[in-house]
Structure 1
């Protein structure tokens, strides 16, 4: 009888080791893929009727950073621009020439930047001004 009890105890111990310990979660189950550190929905909308520059508005993309991704066509460059200004859209600036055409657009960003909530909106004279004025974050 004593031999059966030892065999049963040994079987339970082997099963517990095979399962990684009774009640202990496995490492794979405890570490799901973390979400991007920064995820923003960027949108461009025309504030006037269809024009030469803004005929295909509204447009919307998702920008993910850390790691760079989403549907933004130049996610790495946009993330790099935002990293330089700590995610503060108001501090973005750029250089470049744009046509002197008044076709106002509204640029908005909603989401999170490094865990902090972001809500940004600004009116630009046209699409080119929006792209250049935000160091190409709104170039999509």
Structure 2
């Protein structure tokens, strides 16, 4: 819902306020309808709250639309020249965060495994041609 200061205070009950993908010549693989809750959920992102500002003129970085988003408990800020760019930027930012978390977990598993091997050296095989008979 837009108020006097050109802000969108999102809630799940708000209706769409955007244009169709055909009208905007979208680069998005998913059709955006203008409701950030529905648009981000189409990408599998759980949006808890948001504030989107439509500026009258571009800011210093050239963005016309800026926003603060609460995505799965993390506060993200974003700015873009169009609504589509804003949503796609948030999707890319979320994918980048998931890659980072995945990499950190993989490194932790590797550290834990190396620590376990240091405590149990009898399980380190220097000859790969070991055959267990039993």
TM-score, normalised via structure 2 length: 0.29
Task: Report the structure, 1 or 2, having the larger helix content.
Answer: 2
Task: Report the structure, 1 or 2, having the larger strand content.
Answer: 1
Identify the structure with bigger relative contact order (alpha carbons < 8 Å, sequence gap 6+): 1
